[in-house]
């Protein structure tokens, strides 16, 4: 995903919905909310296009990894057979080919995992952005009704700067509507905080897992030498099966 798109979406997700509603109220118009809605819809469409592209790349890289991993497994078995039959020259050639297959398999595996992480992050951002869009659309209609009600009751809306102030105008119906909007916005903010915390924990766990994997790979290479490639490939094969 292009950095500029990533930054725009993060800005939209983290936008203060209370602030947007208060600006709309101050201007006695929902145009501020309409502009936010248009920006979210444009960037949501761009995000979905980018996610589809990355998702396709993930599938391609996974397929390539599985192809080379399968070829490497077959070569590994063939080498044992050649050695048993005393065909050392063919076994050496097959071993060289196996090393290449394992290296390519490792490269595709690493790229696949990197792109998979990016893809999941984009899907998570899409869910958050869709949630914000749904909320702001709903509150746009509620605020429009609130402005119309306040005008009908001759409340000077332009002098009121926020929902907090509007809740104190002394009219039970207006106060109830403004309180309801505030509560729903608070709930949306709480949902976003929970989703962001969960994503952060997942990213941190994935990073820790990658560090452990790297340390184990270094240990295998040090202890097993040339045979480490086969052990590493076997470990990755298990990861592929579990995924």
CA–centroid distance for 242 within its chain: 21
Q: Which domain holds residue 24?
A: 3-242
Q: Please tell me whether residue 108 adopts helix, strand or coil conformation.
A: helix
Q: Which pLDDT belongs to residue 55?
A: 93
Overall average pLDDT of the 58-81 stretch: 92
Cα 182 from Cα 159, distance rounded (Å): 19
Distant-in-sequence, close-in-space partners of 116: CB < 8 Å, separation ≥ 6: 58, 62
Overall average pLDDT of the 28-42 stretch: 90
**Angle 95-61-5 (CA atoms, 0-180°, nearest 5)?**
145
Q: Which pLDDT belongs to residue 103?
A: 93
> What is the number of structural domains in the chain?
1
Q: Which tops the pLDDT comparison, 241 or 213?
A: 213
Average pLDDT, the chain: 77
Q: Which pLDDT belongs to residue 217?
A: 72
Judged against a pLDDT cut of 90, whether residue 100 lies above it is answered with yes
Judged against a pLDDT cut of 70, whether residue 165 lies above it is answered with no
How confident is residue 135, by pLDDT bands cut at 50, 70 and 90? confident
Overall average pLDDT of the 157-186 stretch: 62
């Amino acid at each position: 995903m292009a950095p500029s798109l990533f930054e725009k979406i993060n800005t939209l997700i983290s936008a203060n919905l209370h602030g947007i509603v208060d600006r709309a109220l101050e201007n006695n118009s929902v145009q501020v909310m309409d502009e936010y809605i248009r920006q979210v819809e444009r960037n949501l469409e761009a995000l979905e296009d980018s996610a589809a592209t990355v998702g396709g790349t993930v599938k391609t890289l996974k397929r390539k990894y599985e192809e080379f991993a399968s070829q490497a497994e077959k070569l590994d078995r063939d080498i044992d057979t050649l050695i048993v039959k005393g065909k050392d020259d063919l076994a050496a050639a097959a071993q060289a080919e196996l090393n290449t297959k394992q290296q390519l398999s490792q490269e595709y595996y690493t790229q696949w995992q990197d792109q998979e992480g990016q893809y999941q992050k984009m899907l998570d951002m899409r869910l958050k952005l869709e949630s914000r869009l749904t909320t702001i659309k709903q509150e746009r209609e509620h605020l429009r009704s609130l402005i119309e009600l306040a005008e009908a009751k001759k409340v000077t809306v332009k002098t009121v700067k926020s929902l907090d102030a509007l809740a104190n105008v002394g009219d039970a119906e207006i106060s109830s509507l403004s309180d309801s909007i505030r509560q729903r916005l608070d709930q949306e903010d709480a949902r976003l905080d929970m989703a962001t915390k969960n994503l952060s924990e997942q990213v941190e766990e994935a990073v820790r897992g990658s560090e452990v994997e790297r340390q184990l790979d270094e240990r295998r290479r040090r202890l097993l030498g040339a045979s480490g490639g086969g052990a590493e490939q076997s470990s990755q094969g298990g990861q592929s099966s579990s995924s």
